[in-house]
Structure 1
């Protein structure tokens, strides 16, 4: 067996299952889960229709690079969404079966564990708290994760300025999640300037996870990595978007998590190697999913309706929760990242008792982070995914409010 498998931590939801072991939820309440970031809004009918109408395409093998119509639709969406120059569908876009599998695979493609041995070992850097795929990808690539703690004073954006100078030469891959999971933090243009300069100096690749980019509360859409690169003059020349690739998905944007459809875009040199790698992995997207994906990327009306539902939930739910815990609106995304110390309970005890007494599931923040630089930045926090319908989400918020007041 691959010895690196022994380095993998249990996934947060397995830890949650163990935390709830032996607990009987109060049957007087219907179960509501805010624990898993799985969209619950209905899938738009036109996407389902496009999927069904393309079922005849199952009679042939799809290509790993995907069909030109899909790559063209993604390229067009990127250009309009981020105001960037023409994106070459042939060299700068690659469809993938959801961003999760591609985020894992990119580490296996770009990390050279042998090159880092002389300096103390290859590093894969990620924010802390983080999406656990980044950590698992690092270990399976033979590298060591390096965690950059979030900074509460910056609405929980990672504090890359805290990284010692001696660390950066060992970094081969940097995962960035903006908007962040679980914090909702969005990197600024100055954050990107700093990261691009460090990448230029040390040669590491940047994998920008942007699967929450289309869910935001304010009037301004979050800044994207390709957009930042363009504004900083990095979208043209001999090596456009050097060492930068972005990962996006239809799962949250279009409420189709079961379709497993996303893309990778950016540096043509990185994508050329990534395509070669994926050709051997068998990561081709089926023709029906490609057809449905084209329909989804070409339509913005359903995205606006989806965003309006999340805005309504944030408007109704956040004030209720703010009465009993420290919680603020995120920059973007559909999570609330709340501090529960006012209740007198740890994040683990809070989640366990809330489930037992009110049949509401939330995820302890300490499961989403690691002890790094003397602290676990998720400790005493909980993540609440506002994925349920408006009425169900409001019901959950009222139960949490009542639970917290009962503790007092």
Structure 2
């Protein structure tokens, strides 16, 4: 029987065999939305290192501390981005159209059709596509909207892989949902096994989230795993959210996506997929992406986004449309990250459980104690990394599956990455 973990002061539904109560992260109170900041991994990292001076830092060509904690792409975005925004500057004078410009939606739908081999007409740009300011914002609005209000329904659980992107948990707590964390370690191929949950738990689920390639482990879900989650969502009446923001950063062929598996089933029912230009196009500051899927859910999320004012400006949509129509810069991006992983493989060898992931740009390194390693790296080498425990939740006994790990982002140029990893190895081996 699978062991899941919840946040909160009460045990999860279904008994001890079905889920386990979690020990809460430091400073986080169950159901306390005002305490959400304390649950944020980078807030926790800031507090961990507060008052600690970075050790001797600086390597050839790099000034200041070596920052490897955030997945913030550093490869330059294509020049067409700035050019297209400048050419469409008149658009700054008006509010964004609530459901996006026709051209942006057409470009997004066209990219999805080409990338996933979708049948013509499967994605209606008007009914099945909604622009969002990056996947993070879109995911937050979607998850909070998809969770019923207190008293509206028993279906309030949110299935989240552990480790996880913090927005999944933050949105669940903001909507007074019940996050249920499923282990995504080596024993499950670094992906959650939602199908192993008991039926009575699945019947209480409002939303299940799958990230592929996964953050931070870079694991790619198989066609069978994606199709299985879609079938599970339809059988038990919940929304399956697929976070595919890393889908274009792969090394051994394009990963399968939820849209193509939904197309094979002939329907977008219960499916919502998120894509972004942040990683694909090295444009995190553009804040431009889209959600695609079930038309009924698109309508609901459209209403929520209008309340939140989370529209995408017209010049940004124009630039986004140009980026979705171009693949040359994406191929260059993949080569950029492949070089960085070549360097990591050479510098790390078989240390710290190194493995080359199928996608993404993170290393998930087993250093024995992630927090202790993060402090040591900062104080002795001026290197900032993220403790793996900050991406997971501890179980009832206080065991955190991310505790042995650190997450390292390989987002800088090759010289920076090589110097930083050599220094990291020297520090942790000392």
TM-score (norm 1): 0.92
Count of aligned positions? 391
Partners of 1:373 and 1:158 in 2: CA distance: 19
When residues 28 and 99 of structure 1 are mapped into structure 2, their CA distance, relative to the original with a 3 A threshold, is closer
Question: Are residues 1:252 and 2:279 paired?
Answer: yes
The Cα offsets for residues 350-392 of structure 1, whole Å up to 9 and x where unpaired, read as: 1110111111111100001001476422110111110111110
Quote the residue 1:21 is aligned against.
50
The Cα offsets for residues 215-248 of structure 1, whole Å up to 9 and x where unpaired, read as: 1122x11111112222xx32x3xxx211101011
Q: Is the 8 A contact 2:242 2:273 kept in 1?
A: yes
Question: Are residues 1:390 and 2:396 paired?
Answer: no
- Alignment counterpart, residue 92 of structure 1, candidates 88, 113, 128: 128
When residues 355 and 264 of structure 1 are mapped into structure 2, their CA distance, relative to the original with a 3 A threshold, is same
- Cα deviation for residue 164 of structure 1 reads 2.8
Q: Is the 8 A contact 1:123 1:173 kept in 2?
A: yes
- Alignment counterpart, residue 290 of structure 1, candidates 299, 317, 321: 317
Quote the residue 1:112 is aligned against.
148
Identify unmatched segments of 5+ residues in structure 2: 1-30, 59-63
Question: Are residues 1:279 and 2:312 paired?
Answer: no
Partners of 2:35 and 2:132 in 1: CA distance: 27
Partners of 2:371 and 2:394 in 1: CA distance: 15
Partners of 1:69 and 1:347 in 2: CA distance: 46
Question: Are residues 1:5 and 2:11 paired?
Answer: no
Pick which of 56-65 and 317-326 moved more: 317-326
Quote the residue 1:144 is aligned against.
178
Instruction: Provide the secondary structure at the position in 1 that maps to 2:403.
Output: coil
Identify unmatched segments of 5+ residues in structure 1: none
Q: Post-superposition, which runs of at least 4 consecutive aligned residues in structure 1 deviate over 4 A?
A: none
Q: Is the 8 A contact 2:250 2:358 kept in 1?
A: yes
- Cα deviation for residue 154 of structure 1 reads 4.2
- Cα deviation for residue 161 of structure 1 reads 3.9
How large is the RMSD of aligned CA atoms in angstroms? Answer: 1.7
Partners of 1:108 and 1:173 in 2: CA distance: 10
Instruction: Provide the secondary structure at the position in 2 that maps to 1:263.
Output: strand
Partners of 2:101 and 2:303 in 1: CA distance: 16
- Cα deviation for residue 323 of structure 1 reads 4.1
Partners of 1:373 and 1:168 in 2: CA distance: 21
TM-score (norm 2): 0.87
Question: Are residues 1:227 and 2:251 paired?
Answer: no
Quote the residue 2:20 is aligned against.
none
Quote the residue 1:56 is aligned against.
90
Q: Is the 8 A contact 1:33 1:362 kept in 2?
A: yes
Partners of 2:357 and 2:231 in 1: CA distance: 27
